[in-house]
Amino acid sequence: MVAIRPQSAKFFVFNNLLPALKNPAFRRLCRRAPRGRRVSSRAWQSQAWTSTEPLEVLRRVFGYPAFRDAQASIISTVVSGGDALVLMPTGGGKSLCYQIPALLRPGCAVVVSPLIALMADQVAALTEAGVNAAALNSTLDARAASQVERAFVAGELDLLYVAPERLLTERFLELLDRTRVALFAIDEAHCVSQWGHDFRPEYIQLSVLHERFPAVPRIALTATADELTRREIIERLKLDDARVFISSFDRPNIRYLVTPKDSAREQLLRFLDREHRGHSGIVYCLSRRKVEETAAWLEERGIKALPYHAGLDAQTRADNQRRFADEEGTVVVATIAFGMGIDKPDVRFVAHLDLPKSIEAYYQETGRAGRDGQSADAWMTYGLADVVLQRRMIDESEADESFKRIQRGKLEALVGLAETAECRRVRLLAYFGEASRPCGNCDNCLWPPQVTDAGVAAQKALSAVARTGQRFGAGHLIDVLRGKKTTRVVQLGHDRLKTFGVGADWDDRQWRLLFRHLVAAGHLHADAESFGALKFTASSRAVLDGDTPVLLREAAVKAAPTARTRRKSAQALAPAPVDGNDPLLGALRAWRLATAREHGVPAFVILHDSTLATIAATRPADRAALAAISGIGGAKLDRYGEILLQLVRTND
């Protein structure tokens, strides 16, 4: 049996000073005194370490000046041994909520994470910051894995990331019995929800942690949780005693844009040309084939675009993901298989060429934009065909009826978001139970859509549905309304109907918009079994009788928004404009790229864009000035301080 070292570095905080001196992680932690004063580690320890505060760790290890929102209360809850459920949007700073307690509590923190790519980046970033972190997952060979296990049991690690299926093996649970565990962090906790889009059966079994290790505090974290999921997490993970921390789900730096679909790819290209040339971004499509085609199509038009979907071999997927992380201005065209493990901070846009399944999925996918807090776009095109397709996928799935009903409800909520003429953010946040006021940073706020009363047109449309026997989709109905004598129309005798030609004053697109709206508003139902035939619902009658008004947004006829009309506060959130030709910034970027290659990590693990931009803008002259820059912690200062200062000096 491997001997347990009862007193790892952090145990010292609560006990005596001596054992800590032996621990290299601790020594690294102590290298820098508060406020940048350099003192010998012994002096620093005896004066201050016994009262080490989370804030000092934040400053010294991670190089950030202050906690955000609830971070401080979450950390103090966990440090003092309590359970916590943390609901925080992507980019909110969830990782620090368990990383800092991991450094302050005795023992090693065990972090359950479903995605290997994410683990690798987290471990790389922590190692860069001088923290002893490792991961156990299927990418390690047996020898490497047993090395990590040995270090874990020997108390040499501060954080261990582990995949859920690995954690649940009896072998690993026995290792846990023999090891001092500082806390369990359960990342992406919504994976426990059977109704959710990321359901992982192993997550349900994680309640074993509570049963087997009741004294170890647990912190569950997620960026996606509606009321239902929230309750499920608490129940399934047995977090009844956990303090629940709900941060605002607002991502004020993300601008939400939804455009009716006409020629989706062309619309995307125009959007990229106008706003995002040379930026990193993600384009989501529903099918593998469409991913491939779109990537190739963008590539032909001079945009560096890589495909990503589950049908590609593992090597290609890994390569494309790496290139996305490492190479500036790369666009990934992907199915939803891509993304959960992505924590690239400078994704400037997320585009949806197809409709996601729910608001949660939309929110999670768009949430990958702008994690660095700088302005970013969530852009989507959608059309009636999307809604019909998604409906069909739900209806034809193997799931039972109650599951399907929930999925349909979720889809409808999303369509409602896409259709609304009001602030999109208000809708989005309301879905997560949060009240808010019009945001000024979505298309509807920036370019308020004209709303017109389309009651009469709706009556015509519904009467066309009725007179053709509720058996046809929008395409044929529009032909009838517009008075087109297509072969089908003539064969079916629909040119003799009373509604034939009553809608000649509108073009195809306007009618499509109306049909989509009627479906979204629940006045028509697209029946999957009869290939999207539009049928009446309980509310159709009232529309037909003119009792329910139909207010239609005219977004379709409006010109696309331009960059110039971005709202002021969004600009305020943007970084200070940096001169693209600044030789210092260029030199910093080149150095970062070379260093990242050398260390085999993505560039942002070395230093974030915003940190480089601040260095370029403030030109720090000495270590103290450099240390004051957000994102430069003790280990980075030691490792890169000299070279950074030198770069500043030589690029004057």
Instruction: Please select the residue that binds ligand ADP; options are 7, 45, 52, 90, rule is CB under 6 A.
Output: 90
Nearest residue (CB) to ligand ADP, 139 versus 630: 630
Please state the closest distance from residue 351 (CB atom) to ligand ADP, in A.
Answer: 20
The whole-angstrom distance between residue 290's C-alpha and the CA centroid of its chain comes to 22
Please state the closest distance from residue 34 (CB atom) to Zn ion, in A.
Answer: 42
Cα–Cα nearest to 187, from 208, 203, 166? 203
Instruction: Please select the residue that binds ligand ADP; options are 75, 88, 162, 342, rule is CB under 6 A.
Output: 88
Nearest residue (CB) to ligand ADP, 96 versus 514: 96
Output the six-digit token pair for 168: 């649940």
15 and 7 in contact (C-beta within 8 Å)? yes
3-state secondary structure of 383: coil
Instruction: Please select the residue that binds ligand ADP; options are 45, 52, 95, 229, rule is CB under 6 A.
Output: 95
Give CA–CA dist 407/520, Å, rounded.
15
Output the six-digit token pair for 525: 């139902």
With binding defined as CB under 6 A, does residue 371 bind ligand ADP?
A: yes
Q: Which does 445 bind (CB under 5 to 8 A by kind): ligand ADP, Zn ion, none?
A: Zn ion
Please state the closest distance from residue 567 (CB atom) to Zn ion, in A.
Answer: 9
Give CA–CA dist 307/645, Å, rounded.
39
DSSP 565: G
Residues 418-457 binding Zn ion (CB under 5 A) are 423, 425, 439, 442, 445
Please state the closest distance from residue 251 (CB atom) to Zn ion, in A.
Answer: 12
Please state the closest distance from residue 435 (CB atom) to ligand ADP, in A.
Answer: 23
Q: Tokens 């139909």 sit at which residue?
A: 550
- Tell me how crowded residue 134 is: count the other CB atoms within 10 A of its CB: 24
Cα–Cα nearest to 181, from 204, 200, 162, 163? 162
With binding defined as CB under 6 A, does residue 60 bind ligand ADP?
A: no
With binding defined as CB under 6 A, does residue 592 bind ligand ADP?
A: no
Please state the closest distance from residue 364 (CB atom) to ligand ADP, in A.
Answer: 10
The three state secondary structure string of 113-132 is CCCHHHHHHHHHHHHHCCCC
Contact map string, positions 200 to 239, toward ligand ADP, x by CB under 6 A:
-----------------------x----------------
Q: Which does 439 bind (CB under 5 to 8 A by kind): ligand ADP, Zn ion, none?
A: Zn ion
Q: Which does 407 bind (CB under 5 to 8 A by kind): ligand ADP, Zn ion, none?
A: none
Please state the closest distance from residue 98 (CB atom) to ligand ADP, in A.
Answer: 10
Give CA–CA dist 230/232, Å, rounded.
5
* Interface segment toward ligand ADP; rule CB under 6 A; list 19-27, 87-95, 140-148, 251-259: 87-95
Give CA–CA dist 288/7, Å, rounded.
52
- Measure the N-to-C terminal CA separation of the chain; round to a whole number of Å: 59
Residues 305-364 binding ligand ADP (CB under 6 A) are 343, 345
- Side by side, the strands of the sheet bearing 254-260 are 254-260, 376-382, 349-352, 281-284, 331-334, 305-308
Give residues with Cβ within 8 angstroms of 152, minimum separation 6. 108, 134, 136, 160, 175, 179
Give CA–CA dist 260/84, Å, rounded.
42
Give residues with Cβ within 8 angstroms of 315, minimum separation 6. none
Q: Count residues binding ligand ADP (CB under 6 A).
A: 17
Q: What is the length of the chain? A: 652
With binding defined as CB under 6 A, does residue 609 bind ligand ADP?
A: no
Nearest residue (CB) to ligand ADP, 185 versus 584: 185
Instruction: Please select the residue that binds ligand ADP; options are 20, 28, 91, 249, rule is CB under 6 A.
Output: 91
With binding defined as CB under 5 A, does residue 553 bind Zn ion?
A: no
Cα–Cα nearest to 610, from 346, 366, 322, 347? 346
With binding defined as CB under 6 A, does residue 462 bind ligand ADP?
A: no
Give CA–CA dist 322/303, Å, rounded.
17
Instruction: Please select the residue that binds ligand ADP; options are 92, 114, 130, 307, rule is CB under 6 A.
Output: 92
Q: Which does 343 bind (CB under 5 to 8 A by kind): Zn ion, ligand ADP, none?
A: ligand ADP
With binding defined as CB under 6 A, does residue 54 bind ligand ADP?
A: no
* Interface segment toward ligand ADP; rule CB under 6 A; list 94-102, 198-206, 471-479, 497-505: 94-102
Give CA–CA dist 371/367, Å, rounded.
7
Q: Is 217 exposed, middle or buried (0-12, 13-18, 19+ CB in 10 A)?
A: buried
Instruction: Please select the residue that binds ligand ADP; options are 68, 277, 323, 485, rule is CB under 6 A.
Output: 68
506 and 456 in contact (C-beta within 8 Å)? no
Q: Is 349 exposed, middle or buried (0-12, 13-18, 19+ CB in 10 A)?
A: buried
Please state the closest distance from residue 92 (CB atom) to ligand ADP, in A.
Answer: 4
Q: Which does 388 bind (CB under 5 to 8 A by kind): Zn ion, ligand ADP, none?
A: none
Give residues with Cβ within 8 angstroms of 548, minimum separation 6. 523, 539, 542
Cα–Cα nearest to 297, from 337, 267, 257, 274? 267
* Interface segment toward ligand ADP; rule CB under 6 A; list 62-70, 455-463, 531-539, 582-590: 62-70
637 and 645 in contact (C-beta within 8 Å)? no
Nearest residue (CB) to ligand ADP, 221 versus 272: 221
With binding defined as CB under 6 A, does residue 93 bind ligand ADP?
A: yes
With binding defined as CB under 6 A, does residue 106 bind ligand ADP?
A: no
Strand-pair partners of 602 = none
Output the six-digit token pair for 30: 């102590």
Nearest residue (CB) to ligand ADP, 94 versus 636: 94
Nearest residue (CB) to Zn ion, 257 versus 626: 257
Nearest residue (CB) to Zn ion, 279 versus 424: 424
Q: Which does 195 bind (CB under 5 to 8 A by kind): ligand ADP, Zn ion, none?
A: none
Element (H, E) at 298: helix 288-300
Please state the closest distance from residue 339 (CB atom) to Zn ion, in A.
Answer: 24
- By beta carbon distance, the residue nearest ligand ADP is 93
Instruction: Please select the residue that binds ligand ADP; options are 67, 379, 506, 591, rule is CB under 6 A.
Output: 67
Residues that bind ligand ADP (CB under 6 A): 64, 67-68, 71, 88, 90-96, 223, 343, 345, 371, 630
Residues that bind Zn ion (CB under 5 A): 423, 425, 439, 442, 445
